[in-house]
A and B are shown apart, each in its own frame.
Chain A
Amino acid sequence: MSERRKQLLQMAAGAAFLVAAVVLVLIVVNASSGGDGGDTELEGAAEVNRHLQGIPQRELVLGDANAPVELLEFGDLQCPFCKGVSEEVLPSVIDGVVKSGDARLIFRNFTIIGQESVDAGAAAVAAGKQGRGWSFVEIFYRNQGRENGGFVTDEFLEAVAEAAGVENLDRWNEERKSQATLKEVKAQTEEAQQLGLGGTPTFVIKGPNTDGLEVLGTPESPGQLEAAIEAAS
Chain B
Amino acid sequence: MSYPGEWTLRRAIAFVATLGVAVATYIAITEASGDSPVCLAGSTGCRTVAESSYSHVAGINIAVFGIVGYVMLLASAFFANDAARFGGFVVSLGGFGYSIFLTYIEIFKIEAICQWCVASAVLMTILFGLNAIRLIGYGGTDGTNVYGGANEREA
> CB within 8 Å of B: which residues of A?
1-2, 4-6, 8-9, 11-12, 15-16, 19-20, 22-23, 26-27, 30-31, 35, 76, 79-82, 84-85, 112-114, 146-150, 198-202, 218, 220
Contacts and interface: CB of A to CB of B under 8 A. Distances in A.
Q: Pick the 3 closest A-B CB pairs, nearest first.
A: A5-B140, A199-B38, A19-B97
B142 to A, nearest CB: 10
A5 B139 contact: yes
Interface centre among B39, B51, B98, B135 (most CB of A within 10 A): B39
B84 to A, nearest CB: 12
B44 A114 contact: yes
Contacts of B38: 81, 198-202, 218
B39 to A, nearest CB: 4
B120 to A, nearest CB: 16
Nearest to B95: A19
Given A9-B135, A9-B136, A149 B37 contact: no
Q: Is the interface of B mostly helix, strand, loop or mixed?
A: helix
B139 A80 contact: no
Interface in B108-140: 108-112, 132, 135-136, 139-140
B139 A15 contact: no
A22 B85 CA distance: 22
A148 B93 contact: no
Contacts of B47: 147
A34 to B, nearest CB: 10
Contacts of B59: none
A27 to B, nearest CB: 5
Nearest to A9: B139
A35 B108 CA distance: 10
B139 A82 contact: no
Contact of B112 (A6, A27, A149): A149
B93 to A, nearest CB: 5
A191 B104 CA distance: 39
Nearest to B96: A19
A16 to B, nearest CB: 6
Contact of B111 (A23, A76, A146, A220): A146
Nearest to A23: B97
Contacts of B52: 146
B37 A84 contact: yes
A54 to B, nearest CB: 30
A15 B111 contact: no
16 contacts: A4-B82, A8-B82, A9-B135, A20-B97, A23-B97, A23-B100, A26-B101, A112-B41, A112-B42, A113-B44, A146-B110, A147-B51, A149-B48, A199-B41, A200-B39, A220-B37
Contact of A80 (B51, B90, B101, B132): B51
